[in-house]
Amino acid sequence: MSDSPPDRLSVNPKSPYYDAALLERGVGVRFKGVEKTNVDEYCVSEGWVKLSVGTTKDRFGNDMTIKLSGDVEPYFKT
């Protein structure tokens, strides 16, 4: 494995950007310099994160998310 996280990563198993091995290793995300723990997906090159909003679900049973733009800094926790 490389020492830097991928450009794009998702915690949703249905997403093509899902990677269980990386998620087990532990990936943290800083968004605009603040540690975020509710990140569902991020993209460094496009500069956005999708954050889950509380415990709200959409009509398909997925968590409701909000997409925010800004500086994204992923890192490995271990």
Residue range 31-48, pLDDT digits in tens? 999 999 999 999 999 999
d(C-alpha 39, C-alpha 32), whole Å = 13
Burial of 12 (0-12, 13-18, 19+ CB in 10 A): middle
Domain ranges across the chain: 8-76
d(C-alpha 39, C-alpha 52), whole Å = 6
Residue range 44-60, pLDDT digits in tens? 999 999 999 989 999 99
Q: What is the DSSP string of 39-68?
A: EEEEETTTTEEEEEEEEEE-TTSPEEEEEE
The model carries a pTM of 0.89
Instruction: Output the CA torsion sign for 66, 11, 35, 47.
Output: negative
Whether 62 shows a pLDDT value over 90: the answer reads no
